[in-house]
Structure formats: structure tokens, C-alpha cells
Amino acid sequence: MTSVTSDLLQSCSETMISFVHNMTASYADKSNESSVVSTSVVMFILAAVFFNLNLFSGVSDVSAVLNPTVRIFLSSALNLFLPVMSYLFSEAKQAPLGVGDSTTTTRDAHSDDLSLLARVILTWMLLVELLRKKVEAILITTGMHVYSSLISHATSVAWLGNLVFFNLQAAGQKALFGVLWVLCAAKLVQRVAITEIGKRSFAHAKNPRLISSYMAQLPKLLEVDEHVAADGSRMERCNFAVMGEENMVLKAGPHGYELDLGLAAAVVTVGKIWQTKQHPRLKRLCLSFSLFKLLRRRFENLPPATMKETDECRDLILDGMCKDAQATGDVPAEVALFQVLNDEVSFLAEYYHSVLPVVLASPYFFFVNYLCFPVVVFGLCVMTIVLCGNGNVLYAFKSLTNDNYAVSSGILSLTKCLWKNVVRSPLVFFSIVDVSICYLLFIVVVYEEVWEFVVFLLSNWFIVSLLCTFSAKPRRRESPTFRGSVRCILWLRRNLSHYPSLITIKQFTVLSTCCLSPRLPTATLPRHAKLAILERFRGGDPLSNGGAVLTSMGGRHRRFSRLAWACQSGAVAEVILTWHIATSLLETKQQQQLPTSASRSRRTAARLSRYCAYLVAFRPELLPDDREGTERIYKDLKKGIKAALGGARGYYLSSERSQHETIRALRVDASAAADMTVLERGAVLGKQLVEDDEAGDGAVWEMLADVWVELVVYVSPSRAEEHARGHEAALVQGSELVTLLWVLATHTGIARPDHDGEIDQPAAPA
């Protein structure tokens, strides 16, 4: 260290030189050099991950949901972090203080003070504990799994409090670390309070059963309000609850909650929102929130919607809301429909997987949590500082600088001194790594608090709460302040995030090696496809796996009825893969210019084909068939493709076009359709499509578009609990098109015929 010290003399004061000597002493000790260096490197990687996760991912997405893969990784890292760092802390605190420590002058009085390395490790532990909430979902539900996470969090906070208050002796050091510990304890108390309030609230955890009781009493509410809104539009007469239904609860009964119908006027309904002069986009957002409440019953294992309710939802969504969108000229009906569905799924995702308390968003919660709570925590921090100084206020605050050299000299000056000498010594290099870790963690903690505030203000939950808070008060609702606030929030949301105005779908084809890519490509759902899906849901014909498109009497695709054999399978995965292979072969062969309508149909067919293939390959739990059966069909197809291409080499190394040519050239006995494999069926169907497309009028693509729309609508309805759990698990990974359609089918009561040809409809009202 002599050479290093002499180098440092060129640019740093003697006191700072002593302090830097203590920082580098741990790395000069050969007995623990490897553990100290590895600890610094691992901590730097963890801090960099948190820094990147917060600073860069948050800028592009105003969301309270964290990617599950990232959450699993960080949760595992944090579970190992505390015991490992506690061990290193116990080792570091045994190290001598050294001549450069800030407390050397009072060594006799504080002979048990921690070494500088131990204090650095303790700083890391406290800052990482402040970031724990980033990877833990706020569960507004019941069950012991909620408390297990809270108990683990409380244990960590208690252990850190022991390390702070029973290992530090200097008043300034104890006060500084005590403030960080108070912040950790405050976050724990905040999380416990949010969990308990949400669990006991009729507006949150208990809301699904309350909504069931409310919908059961809806006919009586319609009688009460009939004279008020009888002449209004369909949307203005809708009594679906948006907010405020919790005020009607009298008591819990044997079959739900008993409600006070006299307080129905206090409930903010969809009709009341539609009677305001708000932007149509905001009205549809409130409709999404109301539908989200209805759908939660599906996830909470409550009785399904009655046939009367689904009929009303079908009339409201597919007729009233779409006509309103056309009348206002805001967006086309099909775009408005998918906006409502996408917002509803976003509400579901944030309710079940949020890492931020947006679920409780309201003006009152904003005041308590973001204005009053920080004031209380600040008071506790001041009290902690004074208590660490034994009640002597002046001494307590002076000791913050006297006992912490990094604070008194300035962390920037210390960093500057280290950077000037980082090239001259590896010991200084690792010291600057430790300082950088502290910088990164501190920046992430501050940024996380600011970003939580921004996400809260810009969340759909807060916007809906604002609209509902002022909907019954015309003077406030029409006030320039309120309208300006909402307009400002919407402007910030548009500019700070990529709002999901377009529906994106994953693209995958079995006849290529795109599966080798770490991320699948995506494409937007064409407007032509949205309109076709809307019209299919509006139609009253029973759903089919595509065969009805080809064989229905009076249908415009009767000329292709000879292709109906490709739909004759009991497994929907086989039908999807057969038509997907055929569509891919036709898409590769297609060269001539198509008419505009046929070009739109081709884009719809190609994108839905790749999306359905993605569902079979990667999301079989979202399809109606048993997951294991779907996986077996896909594995058999992959084996068949590899065999046809001459093994793994031809499968992975040949070009996509050469693969298509090889598949197209397969010799298959088309007369024995029942004995053909999925690959052979797809190859035969592809050849027939190519032959039918020789005219070049685009009729084949129009037929294919209708077949794929029929297929994607066919696979969306499901009343099985297994598929409901699959859709719930898929929420956190982003909105899937099939999930949006499943939501729409659940609301409107559209069902798929069972194996006996009967349609499983919702239960009729008692």
C-alpha cells in the first residue's frame, strides 16, 4: 500500500488518503481476497440489473406489472442475498479499523465499531431491502401464501434492525443507518396495511361476491331507475356498477350480501358515466373496469353469469358500445371493441400481478399514501436521529457528519479521488466498484419511488377513480381544474408510454427455424381481422373448427367445400397445424399481384395462421383440448418434418424456401386421408390451395381468412377451470389475442359445441 499511498498524495488530502487506505485494506488482505472480490463483483451485477430494470424498462411502459421471468430471477437472488451478506458482514466486522477510519480519534470509547467494509456491506443490505417490493406482487387476496411473504419480509427487516442497532456504537453512524432501517420498516408497514385494507374491502378482495349479489338485484334496480333513463341510449341505461357498490352492503347473508337498494343512487354506473361529457375513450375505460369486475367472478370460482346477464352483455358490448363509437366518430367499432377488451385484461393483469399499489388508486389513497405517509416517515427518521444522540438534538445532527467521513468530506470528492487513481492500483479499482454499487443502488431506490408515483398517477385505475369521484357532482365534474387534470394525465400517458392501441400477436411457423431465436417476432392484428372477428361474434351461427365456412348453405365459399376434409378431426391442434402448413405453402408460392380486398385477406390469414401455430407450439394451455394431447401432436409433427428434411441438419440449416419446396414435393396418397399424418395432410391441402389459386382472383385468400377467423374464435370460449387458470397465468406476460376473445366469449355467453354437438350455454336465471 506504500506505493498507492504515495500516488494518492498527488491529488488527495491526508485524511482522505487514510480513508481510502481503509477502503482498499480488505482487498490487500490475501486471506479473504477472493471472497471480498467475488462479493463486490456479484453485488455490482445485481445492482446493475436493478438499475437497468428500473431506469430503462420503466421508461417505455407505464405498467405496474413486472415480467415473471425477471421476478423469479430477482426473487431467487434476494432469497440468497440476506444470508450470504450476513455471513460476509460477520466476517468483515472482525477486521481491524485501521488508522484512517473516521472514528479513530474515539477508538477507546467505541472499540467495537464496525470496519469500513462491514458498513459498506450493511449499506448494500439496507438498500437492497428497500428494493424488495419491486419483485413482490401486492396480493389483494386471502390465503396463507400472502402472510408467508409478509413474514419473510418482516424477518429480514428485524434482522437488519439487529445489525444496525446492536453493532454500531458511534451516534452518527447509528443514526445514518437507523434512518435507512426506518425506511425499510416503513415499507413493510405500508405493505401490510395495503394487504389488510384490500383483503377486508368490499371494493377489492370481497368485490366478486358483492358483484354477484348486485347483479342478482339488478332487475329491481332497473325498476327503480326506469323513469329516470327510459328515454336514454342503450349505454346511458346500463346499470352495471363501476364504483360505489360497496356502499350498499348491509350484511352478509346465506346467499351473498344483503344490499340496501335505497342507496343505489350512490353507485356510479356505466350509464351515469355515459351521461357525462367526457371523452369517449374515457367512457370506454370505465366500461372496461365494470366488465373487469364481472369477469373476476370467473377467477374466484363463483357461480357463472346467467343467460339473461350474458344476453345483456352481448347487447351492451357488441351493439350499444359499437354503435356509440360509430356515432361519435372517435374510432371504428372494431377498434373500440378491442380497446375495451385490452383495457379489461390490463385491469386483470395488474390486479393479480401488480408490484405497485395501483389497485387501491383513488384521490383519498393518493392523499394518505403519497402525502401524509411520507410526512410521518420523515418524522420517524428525525426521531431516530435524535434518539441515537441520546436526546441531544444538536449533538445528534452534528454526529451525522462527524462520525461519517464520506458524508463530511463529500461522496463526490471521495469518488473523484478514487477515479484519479483507479488505473494505478487494482485495489483502488475494486474500491471504486464498491462505491459504484452504492451509487447504483441509491439511484435505483430514489428512481423507484419517483416512478411508483408516476405510474400511480398515470394508471387507468386512478383515471377511473377520478371520473367516478366526480361523476355525481356536476359542478366539480365540469370544473376547468378537473378537466385540465384529466387532460394533463392523458397527455402524459400518451407521451411517457407506448399505449397498447394496437393488438400485437406472436408469429411462429413450423416450417422454419425461427424457434432458435430468443424472441419470437410479433405483428399487429389487422383491422380487417378485427372487423371479421366482431362480425363473427355478432352472428348467431354455432361455432365450428372451420368446416362450416366451407360447407354452410348459402355461404360464399361453397366452391371450396371439397376441402372440408381438412377440418374433420377431433383435435383442434391437428386442424390448426394442417391449415397452417397449407397456408405457409401457399404464401411461399404466391407471386402475382392481388386485388386490395384479397391482399387484406391474405394478411389476415397469414398472421392468424402463424399466431395459431404459436398457440399450439408455446401456449397449449390456452387451447380447448388437453394440454398433453396438444403437445404430443406438435412433437409428432416436428419429428415428421425432421424426417422429411433429412434429419436435424436439414431442419436447422436449410433455408425456409427449400424446406417449403421439400414439403410441397412429398408424395402422399390423398385417397387415404384418415391414415395421413398432420404433415401429409398439410402438404396435400397446400397443393390443392395452390391449384385453386391459379386464377389469381384472390378467392382462396378470402376463404382462408374466413377459415382462420372461424378457428381463432372457435378456440377462444372455455368454461373449464384449467383453461381459466391458463388465461390467468398468461395475463402477466402480456395480452394474448385468444385471452381477449375468451374474455369476450365469457361476457357474451358464446360457447363451443361439445363432443355430442350440444352447446354448453350459461345457466338460465332461477
User: What tens digit of pLDDT does each residue of 304-356 get?
Assistant: 888 999 999 999 999 999 999 988 888 899 999 999 999 999 999 889 888 88
Nearest one of 610, 592, 560 to 698, comparing CA atoms = 592
**3-state class (DSSP) for residue 116:** helix
The pLDDT assigned to 146 comes to 67
Is 414's pLDDT higher than 80? no
The pLDDT assigned to 230 comes to 52
The pLDDT assigned to 185 comes to 96
Residue 241 binned pLDDT confidence (cut-offs 50, 70, 90): very high
pTM of the model: 0.87
Number of C-beta neighbours around residue 9 at 10 A: 11
The pLDDT assigned to 62 comes to 55
Specify the residue for cell string 400477436. 505
Residue 161 binned pLDDT confidence (cut-offs 50, 70, 90): very high
Q: Locate the DSSP E strands across 552-634.
A: none
Higher pLDDT residue, 103 or 270? 270
Pull the grid cell for residue 545.
Answer: 373448427
Domain boundaries, the chain: 2-167+411-455, 507-715
**3-state class (DSSP) for residue 505:** strand
Is 498's pLDDT higher than 80? no
The pLDDT assigned to 111 comes to 40
DSSP category for residue 362: S
**3-state class (DSSP) for residue 269:** strand
The pLDDT assigned to 290 comes to 96
List residues bridging with 269 in a β-sheet: 241
Buried b or exposed e, range 80-110, using 16+ CB within 10 angstroms: ebbeebbebbebbbebebbebbbbeeeeeeb
The pLDDT assigned to 106 comes to 38
- What pLDDT digit, counting tens, does each position of 452-491 carry? 898 898 889 999 998 888 776 666 666 777 777 777 877 7
The alpha carbon dihedral of 644, 646, 650, 654 has a sign of: negative
Is residue 121 within 8 A of residue 88, CB to CB? The reply is: yes
The alpha carbon dihedral of 488, 489, 492, 498 has a sign of: negative
The pLDDT assigned to 536 comes to 93
Select, from the ranges 221-225, 611-615, 675-679, the one with the highest average predicted confidence (pLDDT): 611-615
How far is Cα 66 from Cα 734, in angstroms, rounded to an integer? 10
Q: CB neighbours of 585 closer than 8 A, spacing ≥ 6?
A: 511, 660, 663, 664, 682, 683, 686, 687, 689, 690
The alpha carbon dihedral of 579, 583, 586, 592 has a sign of: positive
**One-letter identity of residue 566:** A
Is 112's pLDDT higher than 90? no
What angle is formed at CA 680 by the lines to CA 678 and CA 686, rounded to 5 degrees?
100
Nearest one of 715, 724, 761 to 608, comparing CA atoms = 715
Is residue 543 within 8 A of residue 707, CB to CB? The reply is: no
The alpha carbon dihedral of 704, 709, 712, 718 has a sign of: negative
What mean pLDDT is reported for the chain? 81
Is 692's pLDDT higher than 80? yes
Residue 140 binned pLDDT confidence (cut-offs 50, 70, 90): low
- What pLDDT digit, counting tens, does each position of 698-756 carry? 899 999 999 999 999 999 998 777 778 888 888 877 789 999 999 999 999 988 876 54
**One-letter identity of residue 255:** H
Is 757's pLDDT higher than 50? no
Q: CB neighbours of 435 closer than 8 A, spacing ≥ 6?
A: 411, 414, 415, 418
Burial class (CB in 10 A: 0-12, 13-18, 19+), 49: middle
Number of C-beta neighbours around residue 233 at 10 A: 15
The pLDDT assigned to 60 comes to 44
The pLDDT assigned to 759 comes to 47
DSSP category for residue 371: I
Q: CB neighbours of 105 closer than 8 A, spacing ≥ 6?
A: none
The pLDDT assigned to 747 comes to 94
What angle is formed at CA 694 by the lines to CA 576 and CA 564, rounded to 5 degrees?
35
Is residue 264 within 8 A of residue 225, CB to CB? The reply is: yes
Element (H, E) at 76: helix 68-92
How far is Cα 308 from Cα 218, in angstroms, rounded to an integer? 11
DSSP category for residue 243: E
Higher pLDDT residue, 368 or 429? 368
**One-letter identity of residue 654:** S
**One-letter identity of residue 336:** A
Specify the residue for cell string 367516478. 468
Please give the span between the terminal C-alpha atoms of the chain, in angstroms, as a whole number: 87
Higher pLDDT residue, 153 or 221? 153
The pLDDT assigned to 108 comes to 36
Is 136's pLDDT higher than 90? no
Residue 45 binned pLDDT confidence (cut-offs 50, 70, 90): confident
Is residue 131 within 8 A of residue 49, CB to CB? The reply is: no
Give the mean model confidence (pLDDT) for residues 496-503. 63
How far is Cα 736 from Cα 619, in angstroms, rounded to an integer? 10
